[in-house]
């Protein structure tokens, strides 16, 4: 795997006076520069050049792309566009509202490490097909990920982006091998990223995972990661998707609740919506495909206590309360304008392994906002046809459904 280096825009608590003109930097990871002052019209220095490289990665934000080291009117307008696009501030003046000023809120939102080629003015990096590792700064933590660039990749065309979230105790590297998503990326032609959770977990809303206990803002991290990748790669913003099993599936649901504006569709597996999120989950319309085992002992189809016991079944799931699959999908069906009823279809057997698949398509969904559930009788906890890491705990696998194929087929039919 290839390691990605880059420029880092890192939030520092101590601010320099607004009128400071000389470039102020502090130590940062190799290949990065940390901005430690507020930047505004009239500022000069290497940190302004670094800012301009970051902005120039998006022609819609900074079409001029001039890297001068001087914060002039073009840079000010670029900052205003960036602030508007990221919901920070969209009107006013530099003095009254900070519009066009790189102050603390804007620096916090730019808390990422942006890769670039030394002499480049676009902020872009040359990628080759295969696996790459990278990192960004988010919430004061270094967050890592594995990136897969598909066979035949060309920077002259745009690509869908799939975010694949690992389950509890997993990693980005492991989930790629456990789901066989890498060959699908190559054959279908999409960019794939598998980020790593904090303490091998995601703050999925249950409040019981290690990431949740530490108050990790994984939704903000995902937004920053997507923004970072967009600055590096020709990603089609209308075709960004999220999927994953178990803890990663619940994280996918959380993104459906709190970041539906970012995604064209989501595909949770072996997961239901955590109860603590259910009262605050008012998602925008978003297509969803879900896969659940009716015999899942860790994430019960009927809901209730997650993962077998208060200790999370030997640490596999870290407990918590979840809704049933039916109640979970009704929330998203309602948000999409669908009925709460569905039309079932029993799918043909592929193998005789004691499992069967019923496809449930929710009724009266508007075109492009479908809600589809695959309920697998006899299947336990896993990413079919692959089972869980500990079969005696996770239950049987099913050879009658291939989650990677089902999820990508659904994703490929949906765009914003």
For 177-189, what is each residue's pLDDT tens digit? 999 999 999 999 9
Residue 89: give its domain's CATH number.
1.10.101.10
Check whether 11 has a pLDDT greater than 60.
no
Q: What is the DSSP letter of 45?
A: S
Question: What is the structure's pLDDT at 28?
Answer: 34
- Give the residue with greater pLDDT, 38 vs 263: 263
User: How does residue 34 score in pLDDT terms, banded at 50, 70 and 90?
Assistant: low
Q: In this predicted model, what pLDDT tens digit does every residue of 195-234 receive, in sequence order?
A: 999 999 999 999 999 999 999 999 999 999 999 999 889 9
Same domain, 191 and 333: yes
Q: What is the CATH number of the domain that holds 389?
A: 3.40.50.1820
pTM of the model: 0.72
Give the range of the structural domain holding residue 202, as residue numbers without chain letter: 130-412
Same domain, 103 and 165: no
Residue 310: predicted pLDDT? 37
Interior angle at CA 165, CA 349 and CA 226, nearest 5: 125
* pLDDT at res. 126: 73
Residues 94 and 207 in one domain: no
The Cα angle at residue 280 between residues 276 and 286, in degrees rounded to 5: 110
> Are 83 and 200 members of one domain?
no
Together in a domain, 104 and 71 = yes
Q: Are 242 and 336 within one domain? A: yes
Q: What is the model's pLDDT at position 290? A: 98
Residue 120 lies in a domain: no
Is residue 14 predicted with pLDDT exceeding 60? no
Residues 61 and 202 in one domain: no
Report the C-alpha gap between 309 and 315 in whole angstroms. 10
**pLDDT for the residue 370:** 98
Whether the per-residue pLDDT at 366 is higher than 50: the answer is yes
Cα 44 from Cα 22, distance rounded (Å): 6
The total number of structural domains that make up the chain:
2
Residues 195 and 93 in one domain: no
pLDDT band at 103 (very low <50, low <70, confident <90, very high): confident
Higher-pLDDT residue of 64, 151: 151
Q: Is residue 348 part of a domain?
A: yes
Q: In the prediction, which pLDDT does 111 show?
A: 58
């Amino acid at each position: 795997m290839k390691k990605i280096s880059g420029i880092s825009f890192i939030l520092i608590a101590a601010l320099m006076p607004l009128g400071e003109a000389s470039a102020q930097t502090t130590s940062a990871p190799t290949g990065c520069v940390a901005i430690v002052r507020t930047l505004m019209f009239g500022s000069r220095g290497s940190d302004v050049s670094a800012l301009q490289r970051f902005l120039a990665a998006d022609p819609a934000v900074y079409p001029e792309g001039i890297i001068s080291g001087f914060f002039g009117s073009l840079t000010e307008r670029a900052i205003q566009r960036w602030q508007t696009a990221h919901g920070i501030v969209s009107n006013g003046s530099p003095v009254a509202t900070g519009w066009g000023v790189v102050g603390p809120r804007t620096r916090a939102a730019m808390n990422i490490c942006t890769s670039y080629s030394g002499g480049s003015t676009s902020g872009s990096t040359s990628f080759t097909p295969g696996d790459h590792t990278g990192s960004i700064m988010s919430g004061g933590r270094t967050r890592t990920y594995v990136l897969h660039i598909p066979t035949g990749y060309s920077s002259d065309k745009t690509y869908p982006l799939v975010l694949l979230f690992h389950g509890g105790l997993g990693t980005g590297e492991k989930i790629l091998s456990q789901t066989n998503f890498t060959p699908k990326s190559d054959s279908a032609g999409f960019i794939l990223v598998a980020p790593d959770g904090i303490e091998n977990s995601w703050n999925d809303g249950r409040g019981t995972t290690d990431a949740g206990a530490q108050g990790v803002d994984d939704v903000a991290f995902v937004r920053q990661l997507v923004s970072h990748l967009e600055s590096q790669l020709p990603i089609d913003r209308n075709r960004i998707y999220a999927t994953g099993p178990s803890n990663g599936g619940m994280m996918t649901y959380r993104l459906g609740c709190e970041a539906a504006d970012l995604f064209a569709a989501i595909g949770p597996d072996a997961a239901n919506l955590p109860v603590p999120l259910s009262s605050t989950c008012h998602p925008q319309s978003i297509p969803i495909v879900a896969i659940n085992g009716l015999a899942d002992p860790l994430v019960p189809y009927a809901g209730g206590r997650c993962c077998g016991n208060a200790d999370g079944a030997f640490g596999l799931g870290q407990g918590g309360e979840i809704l049933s699959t039916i109640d979970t999908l009704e929330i998203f069906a309602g948000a999409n304008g669908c009925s709460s009823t569905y039309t079932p279809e029993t799918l043909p057997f592929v193998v005789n392994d004691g499992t069967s698949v019923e496809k449930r398509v929710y009724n009266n969904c508007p075109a492009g906002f479908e809600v589809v559930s695959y309920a697998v009788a006899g299947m336990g906890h896993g990413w079919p046809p692959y089972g869980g890491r500990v079969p005696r705990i996770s239950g049987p696998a099913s050879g009658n459904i291939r989650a990677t194929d089902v999820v990508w087929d659904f994703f490929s039919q949906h765009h914003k």
